[in-house]
Amino acid sequence: MIFLCPAADVPPGGCRRHSRGRHGALALFNLDGRFYATDDRCSHGNASLSEGDVDEGVVYCPLHAGGFDIATGEPVHPPCDEPIRSYPLHVQDGGLYMLPDPEA
């Protein structure tokens, strides 16, 4: 597994950007103590989702206000119509970890 950051670094109800170098960035979310990761880049426009608003399990793109379900990556508000990738996270010893991305 790949260590991302301490779980405490992702605020409750919020998001934190995590750079993966040449593999792009992730948006890490803390929803009521459950942690999720998605690609940070909106599929509709060149915007960082970690800079968007989070409300009831949806992240809203700061560029056009389209929304994605954080748990699945599926678009739920237009103009977004292409899903983003989501990644399973594991909490271990207070840290957030993900499995290596086979497509990276």
CA angle 21-82-28, nearest 5°?
40
Q: Hey, what are 50's tokens?
A: 């970690």
Domains of the chain (ranges, CATH numbers): 2-98 (2.102.10.10)
Q: Say what the pTM is.
A: 0.89
pLDDT digits (tens, 9 = 90+) for 6-46: 999 999 999 999 997 776 799 999 999 999 999 999 988 88
What distance in Å separates the CA atoms of residue 24 and residue 12, rounded to the nearest whole number? 24
What's the whole-number average pLDDT of the chain? 90
Which whole-number Å values give the CA distances from 31 to 23, 40, 63, in the listed order?
A: 25, 16, 22
